[in-house]
């Protein structure tokens, strides 16, 4: 199981780090580099604590149907423009935190650029640049034998109670699936917020070896699985 959080929201380090530290567990944070500056020391502390810093693009392009993305719409992108955005974000993250992310999360979980007959997938670009690419709002978990690391499925954690997510944890354990959760803020409740009580309960359950879970970062679990599947970590897809 992996717990992932997007956009470098302030509450991830203000609230989340202490929760993870208490249980000795690690998350993957997919960051938008300009958002790091408001809490740069805390993000450096997150790195020291072993959390994974993932890549979430520089300008967070999504479909122009979202009001926030009207001026930066995927429908207006080309693969070249997307490649430039990703390269710039890599430099920006490296400059701030001294590391190069190996894990990517598609902004809004969307994997296309362009529109109509000119639409292209940027999954191959992500496959060349990163060890994995995480989707968003998916319907199921990852089958370790079959999933494509460039399209890791993720289920929403925001707003969920522990009663709602518990059956997913149990099914992941029974079927040997890799369950990836994705969230945004970490707090008591509210919009795009992973509830602290839910997170505490998941961490407590995962931290006790008797419960039979393995919770770690996307980078660690994906690399483990890919090595078992016979493809060395970091090997680019042709």
Which of 6, 131, 158, 216 is the binder for Zn ion (CB under 5 A)? 6
- If we measure between CA atoms, which residue out of 31, 29, 89, 30 comes closest to residue 58? 89
Alpha-carbon distance of 186 to 4, in angstroms, equals 11
* Least distance in angstroms from the C-beta of 189 to Zn ion: 20
* Least distance in angstroms from the C-beta of 42 to Zn ion: 19
Using DSSP's 3-state secondary structure scheme, residue 3 falls into strand
* Ranges within 186-205 binding Zn ion (CB under 5 A): none
* Beta bridge partners of residue 180, listed in sequence order: 2
* Ranges within 106-145 binding Zn ion (CB under 5 A): 107
Alpha-carbon distance of 113 to 59, in angstroms, equals 14
Alpha-carbon distance of 221 to 209, in angstroms, equals 17
Alpha-carbon distance of 236 to 238, in angstroms, equals 6
- Which range touches Zn ion (CB under 5 A), out of 43-51, 99-107, 188-196, 224-232? 99-107
Q: Which of 24, 190 has the CB closer to Zn ion?
A: 190
Tokens of 130: 């990163």
Q: Which of 33, 107 has the CB closer to Zn ion?
A: 107
Q: Which of 102, 105 has the CB closer to Zn ion?
A: 105
* Least distance in angstroms from the C-beta of 107 to Zn ion: 5
Q: Which of 7, 131 has the CB closer to Zn ion?
A: 7
Fill in the per-residue mask, 55 to 94: x = in contact with Zn ion (CB under 5 A), - = not in contact: ----------------------------------------
* Least distance in angstroms from the C-beta of 6 to Zn ion: 4
Which of 7, 52, 158, 216 is the binder for Zn ion (CB under 5 A)? 7
H/E segment holding residue 182: strand 180-183
Size of the site for Zn ion (CB under 5 A): 3
* Least distance in angstroms from the C-beta of 60 to Zn ion: 6
Token pair 């199981």 is found at 1
* Least distance in angstroms from the C-beta of 128 to Zn ion: 21
- Which range touches Zn ion (CB under 5 A), out of 6-14, 123-131, 157-165, 221-229? 6-14
* Phi–psi pair at 235, nearest 5 degrees: -70, 125
Q: How many CB atoms lie within 10 A of CB 39?
A: 18
- Which range touches Zn ion (CB under 5 A), out of 21-29, 67-75, 100-108, 116-124? 100-108
114 with 153: CB under 8 angstroms?
no
Token pair 């990163």 is found at 130
Q: Which of 6, 85 has the CB closer to Zn ion?
A: 6
Tokens of 144: 């370790």
* Least distance in angstroms from the C-beta of 96 to Zn ion: 18
Alpha-carbon distance of 233 to 238, in angstroms, equals 14
Which stretches of the chain bind Zn ion, using CB under 5 A? 6-7, 107
């Amino acid at each position: 199981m992996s717990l992932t959080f997007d956009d470098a929201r302030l509450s991830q380090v203000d609230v989340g780090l202490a929760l993870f530290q208490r249980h000795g567990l690690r998350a993957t944070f997919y960051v938008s580099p300009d958002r790091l500056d408001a809490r740069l020391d805390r993000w450096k502390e997150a790195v020291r604590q072993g959390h994974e810093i993932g890549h979430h693009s520089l300008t967070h392009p999504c479909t122009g149907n979202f009001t926030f993305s009207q001026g930066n719409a995927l429908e207006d992108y080309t693969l070249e423009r997307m490649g430039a955005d990703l390269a710039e974000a890599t430099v920006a993250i490296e400059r701030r935190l001294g590391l190069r992310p190996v894990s990517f999360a598609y902004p809004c979980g969307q994997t296309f650029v362009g529109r109509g007959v000119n639409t292209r997938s940027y999954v191959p670009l992500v496959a060349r640049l990163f060890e994995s690419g995480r989707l968003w709002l998916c319907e199921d978990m990852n089958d370790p034998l079959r999933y494509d690391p460039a399209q890791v499925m993720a289920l929403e954690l925001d707003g969920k109670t522990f009663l709602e997510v518990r059956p997913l944890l149990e099914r992941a354990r029974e079927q040997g699936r890799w369950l990836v959760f994705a969230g945004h803020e970490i707090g008591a409740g509210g919009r795009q917020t992973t509830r602290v009580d839910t997170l505490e309960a998941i961490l407590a359950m995962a931290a006790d070896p008797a419960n039979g879970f393995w919770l770690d970062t996307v980078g660690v679990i994906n690399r483990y699985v890919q090595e078992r599947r016979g493809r060395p970590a970091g090997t680019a897809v042709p």
